[in-house]
């Protein structure tokens, strides 16, 4: 909406206002455009934007917007709620990967193989959520492509193994140059390309690695493995993340070697497969034994399909069928969970 600016539409709107409040986080792009447009069209309107209540940095809260509105309307701001909340008693609600997301399986396997020994570099995408507990598979994130470039930098100054994570779309956008640099400079880096066949975080847009063009026309499919080998990487392997045993075996082999290594984890985004490809698995997971192993599986995977009930002394673990995608990673971790047919 803001670029290119629909000048006639906005000018009509401004002409019917005495005051316009622009609530815009970060830089005042739209605010400045509105001021310029009003001046050019000779529209007499008071445009209010950045100031003591609406700053140039941070995220706007409900309180900040309410104070800005009160100032514009000449009213007293609403008094803050006096509700007393013991934050220590509230359950944690960190952001989480979707139930059945293949990234979770990759992170779980990598942590099992490398543990706290490795330095983990991450990138921009759904998989950025791997930095939060319990996955803890990201030590830093700077920008798109930093999984490779910054990871290479750490590899130059540290004796610890470096494992980078980058999505298929981000790899095509910003990862190839960093990988070429790593090959040229002979860096010691393991890069895991999380290929879920779409740009999931921003709405499932296609990328050069899939045969689908934005305009609906045919396109040339770029095979990630061919691109990686074309850049000069010779140590390349593919994995299916939901095959936990095979994934662990491949990662152990990669850990034993040095140089630039690439693992391509291929598994369609669960949401994309379900909504667009109309794919679904006929089975779901079911907890068949209430035990410590079931609790450990929940704590290590943090799959949102898990449910914990009962009491602190006697917890009861279940799987929400409506959330379970049937990836079956959990039952490969503990015999306390088995597969059953979806209802």
128 and 236 both lie in a single domain: yes
261 and 187 both lie in a single domain: yes
> How far from chain centre, in Å, is Cα 83?
33
Average predicted confidence (pLDDT) for the chain: 91
Q: Using pLDDT thresholds of 50, 70 and 90, give the confidence band for residue 333.
A: very high
Q: Which domain holds residue 45?
A: 7-73
Q: Does residue 133 belong to any structural domain of this protein?
A: yes
Both tokens of residue 247? 């994934």
Q: Read off the pLDDT of residues 2-19 as tens digits, 9 standing for 90 and up.
A: 678 899 999 999 999 999
| Boundary residue ending a domain (250, 275, 300) | 275
> Among 101-110, 119-128, 156-165, 192-201, whose mean pLDDT is lowest?
192-201
Both tokens of residue 275? 């909504």
The answer to whether 229 touches 193, Cβ cutoff 8 Å, is no
| Boundary residue ending a domain (275, 294, 327) | 275
149 and 183 both lie in a single domain: yes
pLDDT of residue 279: 74
Q: Using pLDDT thresholds of 50, 70 and 90, give the confidence band for residue 74.
A: very high
151 and 292 both lie in a single domain: no
Dihedral of the alpha carbons of 221, 222, 225, 230, in degrees to the nearest 10: 150
The answer to whether 192 touches 125, Cβ cutoff 8 Å, is no
CATH of the domain at 220: 3.40.50.970
Closest CA to 241 of 110, 98, 132: 110
109 and 257 both lie in a single domain: yes
Q: Read off the pLDDT of residues 149-159 as tens digits, 9 standing for 90 and up.
A: 999 999 999 99
Number of domains in the chain: 3
User: Which residues are 235's β-sheet partners?
Assistant: 261
Q: Does residue 158 belong to any structural domain of this protein?
A: yes
**337-341/283-287 β-pairing:** antiparallel
> Among 15-19, 185-189, 287-291, whose mean pLDDT is lowest?
287-291
Residue 117: pLDDT over 80: yes
Predicted model pTM: 0.76
Q: Read off the pLDDT of residues 45-66 as tens digits, 9 standing for 90 and up.
A: 999 999 888 999 888 988 899 9
Q: Does residue 91 belong to any structural domain of this protein?
A: no
| Boundary residue ending a domain (229, 246, 275) | 275
């Amino acid at each position: 909406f803001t670029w290119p600016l629909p000048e006639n539409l906005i000018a009509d709107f401004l002409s019917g206002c005495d005051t316009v409040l622009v609530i815009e986080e970060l830089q005042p792009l739209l605010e400045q455009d509105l001021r310029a447009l009003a001046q050019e069209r000779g529209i007499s309107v008071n445009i209010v934007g950045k100031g003591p209540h609406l700053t140039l940095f941070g995220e706007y809260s409900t309180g900040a917007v309410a104070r800005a509105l009160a100032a514009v309307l000449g009213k007293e701001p609403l008094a803050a709620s006096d509700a007393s909340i013991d934050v220590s008693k509230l359950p944690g609600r960190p952001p989480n990967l979707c139930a059945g997301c293949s990234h979770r399986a990759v992170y779980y396997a990598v942590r099992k193989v490398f543990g706290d020994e490795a330095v983990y570099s991450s990138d921009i995408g759904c998989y950025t959520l791997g930095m939060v507990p319990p996955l803890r598979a990201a030590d830093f994130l700077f920008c798109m492509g930093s999984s490779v470039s910054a990871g290479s930098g750490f590899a130059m100054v540290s004796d610890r193994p470096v494992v980078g994570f980058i999505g298929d779309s981000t790899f095509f956008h910003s990862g190839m140059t960093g990988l070429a640099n790593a090959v040229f400079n002979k860096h010691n880096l393991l890069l895991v390309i999380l290929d879920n066949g779409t740009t999931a975080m921003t709405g499932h847009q296609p990328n050069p690695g899939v045969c689908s063009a934005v305009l609906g026309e045919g396109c040339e499919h770029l095979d990630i493995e061919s691109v990686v080998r074309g850049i000069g990487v010779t140590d390349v392997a593919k994995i299916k993340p939901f095959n936990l045993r095979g994934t662990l075996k491949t990662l152990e082999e990669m850990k034993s070697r040095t140089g630039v290594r690439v693992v391509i984890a291929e598994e369609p985004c669960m949401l994309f497969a379900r909504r667009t490809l109309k794919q679904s698995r006929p089975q779901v997971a079911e907890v068949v034994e209430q035990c410590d192993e079931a609790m450990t599986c929940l704590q290590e995977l943090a799959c949102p399909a898990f449910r914990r009930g009962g009491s602190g002394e006697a917890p009861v673990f279940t799987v929400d069928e409506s959330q379970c995608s049937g990836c079956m990673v959990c039952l490969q971790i503990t015999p306390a969970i088995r597969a059953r047919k979806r209802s």
